[in-house]
Amino acid sequence: MADLSATMTGPRGAKPRRVLSGRNIMVYGTLIVVSLYYILPLWVMVMTSLKGMPEIRLGNIFAPPVEVTFQPWVKAWSEACTGLNCDGLSRGFWNSVQILIPSVVLSIIVASVNGYALVNWRFKGSDVFFTILIFGSFIPYQVMLYPIVILLREMGIYGTLWGLVLVHTIFGMPILTLLFRNYFSSLPEELFKAARVDGAGFWGIYFQIMLPMSLPIFVVAIILQVTGIWNDFLFGVVYTKPDLYPMTVQLNNIVNSVQGVKEYNVNMAATLLTGLVPLIVYFVSGKLFVRGIAAGAVKG
């Protein structure tokens, strides 16, 4: 039998005994093969971004650069043009940050409260609202473009930062609410009941009991929202003004330039630069993600 002394926080499977057991070869072999599939495109992107255009035209995409150049990175960050503005991705970086922070914060607050209310403070029709919300997650964004324009116009926040934050909150709500609802419903109900008996109210229980136990799910929510909002192009460009355009508008220009010569090296550098913020969030939160859940209050 496998070792039973595994701690509560550790992985669940049987403990490996020998380094070269058949099981280990199977597990690591599979993971390494799969990892190759995941790494291959990153390899291509990084290698391409370090090559000059002549080398890209000649060589194969998997080969490392013969002559390493950082010019594509410099160009992507500070020189690539969008129309007449030639200051690359740097132009939109702070705008993206400015959009990202309030959007992530607001959408997660709203969704976590939703999930909490749906699990612990059920009201008449709450199932119906939740079902509609899930339905909402399937609506293609393009379909809602015009109705939202009208909505924001009537609210008088069309073209403002807050209009965009609202849009991100709305479209983030379905999936996030689902996540929080599932998470809160996995928490032992006794905790909630005990707090109620102690006389704690809606917000009291939320802040004192639910929040401290919810780090893992917040990490998941942050990952989802940072990725989605940071990579969003459509909403950012439709619902704001040019002085608020996010970084993806410049990325779109660099990657999507339909006419003229495609500079693949700059494309890839721009892509990697734009992806850095979500990537960093992943690297930082990756440990929290699993450790948080493993050590989490799930078992109560």
Partner 1 sequence: MKTLKLATALFASVALPTVALATELEVTHWWTSGGEAAAVAELAKAFDASGDKWIDGAIAGGGSTARPIMISRITGGDPMGATQFNHGQQALELVEAGLMLDLTDVAEAEGWKEKVFPPSLLDACTVDGKIYCAPVNIHSPEWLWLSNKAYADAGIPVPANWNEFVASAPALEAAGKIPLALGNQAWQSNLAFGAMTVAVAGLDVWKKVNIDKDMDVAAGPEIAAVFAAAADARKLAAKSTVQDWNQATNLVITGEAGGQIMGDWAQGEFQVAGQVAGTDYTCLPGLGLNAYLSTGGDAFYFPKLDDPEKEAAQKRLAAQLVSPAVQVAFNLKKGSLPIRGDVDLAAANDCMKKGLEILASGNVVPSGDQLWSPDVVKQNEDLMVEFWKSDMTAADAQAKWVENLKSGM
Partner 2 sequence: MAQAKHPGRLLRNLNAKIAAVPMVLTTLVVFLGGTIWTVVYSFTNSKLLPRTNFVGFDQYERLWDSSRWIVSIQNLLVFGVLSLVFTIVMGFVLAVLMDQKIRFEDTFRTIMLYPFALSFIVTGLVWQWILNPEFGIESIVRSWGWESFAFDPLNNPEVVLYGLLIAGLWQGTGFVMCIMLAGLRGIDEDIWKAARVDGIPTWKTYVLIIIPMMRPVFITTLVLVASGIIKLYDLVVAQTSGGPGNASQVPAMYVYDYMFQAQNLGQGFAASTMMLLSVLIVLIPWAYLEFGGKKHG
List interacting residues with partner 1 (CB under 8 A): 81-85, 145-146, 149-150, 152-153, 158-159, 237-239, 241-242, 249, 252-254, 256-262
Compare residues 84 and 259 and give the one whose CB is closer to partner 2. Answer: 259
Cα–Cα nearest to 75, from 266, 288, 284: 266
- Closest approach, Cβ 69 to partner 2, in A, equals 19
Crossing angle of helices 161-186 and 126-137, rounded to 10°:
120
**Residue 85's binding partner out of partner 1, partner 2, none, with CB under 5 to 8 Å set by partner kind:** partner 1
Partner touching 45 among partner 1, partner 2, none, CB below 5 to 8 Å by kind: partner 2
DSSP three-state, residue 87:
coil
Nearer to partner 1, 162 or 202 (CB): 162
Smallest distance from the beta carbon of 77 to partner 2, in angstroms?
16
Residue 221 near residue 69 (C-beta atoms within 8 A): no
Residue in 64, 85, 101, 141 binding partner 2, rule: CB under 8 A: 141
DSSP helix/strand/coil, 85: strand
Among the residues of the chain, which ranges form H helices? Answer: 22-49, 53-58, 71-74, 90-120, 126-137, 141-155, 161-186, 189-197, 202-205, 215-231, 234-239, 247-256, 264-294
Nearer to partner 1, 7 or 142 (CB): 142
237 makes contact with partner 2 (CB under 8 A): no
> Does residue 159 come out as left (phi exceeding 0), alpha (psi in the -120 to 50 range) or beta?
left
- 27-86: contacts with partner 2 (CB under 8 A): 27-28, 30-31, 34-35, 37-42, 44-45, 60-62
If one asks whether residue 127 binds partner 2 (CB under 8 A), the answer comes out as: yes
Stretch that binds partner 2, among 65-73, 82-90, 97-105, 114-122 (CB under 8 A): 114-122
> Taking CB under 8 A as the criterion, which residues in 181-210 touch partner 2?
182, 185-186, 189, 193, 196-197, 199, 201-203
d(CA 154, CA 118): 30
Question: How far is it, in rounded angstroms, from Cα 2 to Cα 23?
Answer: 13
State in angstroms the smallest separation of the CB of 210 from partner 1.
Answer: 38
Q: With contacts defined by CB under 8 A, name the span among 88-96, 97-105, 157-165, 291-299 that binds partner 2.
A: 291-299
Nearest-approach distance from CB 247 to partner 1, in angstroms: 13
Which residues, 6+ apart, have CB-to-CB distance to 73 below 8 Å?
Answer: 49, 269, 273
